[in-house]
Chain A
Amino acid sequence: MSEDCIRLEFDVDSENFASAGMASEAVKTKLKQLGINMQDVRRVAIAMYEGEINMVIHAKGGKATVDIFPHRVDMILADKGPGIADIDLAMKEGYSTAPDNIRALGFGAGMGLPNMKKNTDAMKIDSVQGIGTTIYMTVNLH
């Protein structure tokens, strides 16, 4: 980690649905304080929120690490959830395994992973069934 990097770390817990999104809000607040342009802030917020929510609804929580560099933001979202069996399928718009009670809350549109892909400049998913999922994302800042 270089000196001009700001690291933010979060435990994303899945107990309290009502507070989901707090890590994303904290990241957004920080980026705004740093004077990052709103379009880039928005892209980070979308990617981070979708990733955070996925850890809450699909993986019983996890850890988020966000590194803010002068010209990019790196996000690492790591969980010890069930893993993703078929990543290509999971990336398809509209594909979701979210149960009805989760859909009733407005989640489960199957747009999370596609939105993360769309709003980042690089994205990589490491997932092993029964072990967990780690998602690496980078957004370049303009």
Chain B
Amino acid sequence: MKVSRLAEILNAEIINLSEDREIETGYCGDFLSFAMSRLPSNSAWFTVMSNANVAAVAVLTEAAAIVVCENVRPDENLSARCKTEGLNLLIVAYPAYECAVKLSQALKNE
């Protein structure tokens, strides 16, 4: 599923969409060391972390999109770094669990 399609499903605000990448799976978590070692490439990463270090982990793990949950506003630094590094960044109102359920359903229906 494309990032733009996930944005529709989750009613997301798109902060950055550089390349409409294919999402294969998802990952929920906030501690960066866990995400760094577990986040599968081409995932949508659901988190409430909103600082620029999230971008570094997303680049290193090749996340398809960072999805900041529960209407947390990303730091200016995060938005800026996503734009310069070509990372897709969305903001959604749903908590991570609900995002993951919706992604899973949509992936199954593809």
Interface residue ranges, A against B (CB under 8 Å): 17-22, 24-25, 28, 38, 42, 45-46, 49-50, 53, 105-112, 115, 118-119
Contact = CB atoms under 8 A, between A and B. Distances in A.
User: A interface, by DSSP: helix, strand, loop or mixed?
Assistant: helix
B33 A45 contact: no
B41 A50 contact: no
Contacts of B37: 46, 111, 115, 118-119
Interface stretch (B2-10, B20-28, B55-63, B64-72): B55-63
Contact of A109 (B31, B52, B75): B31
Contacts of B17: none
A111 B34 contact: yes
Contact of A24 (B51, B60, B85): B60
Given A46-B37, A49-B60, A119-B37, A18 B32 contact: no
B59 A106 contact: no
B32 A109 contact: yes
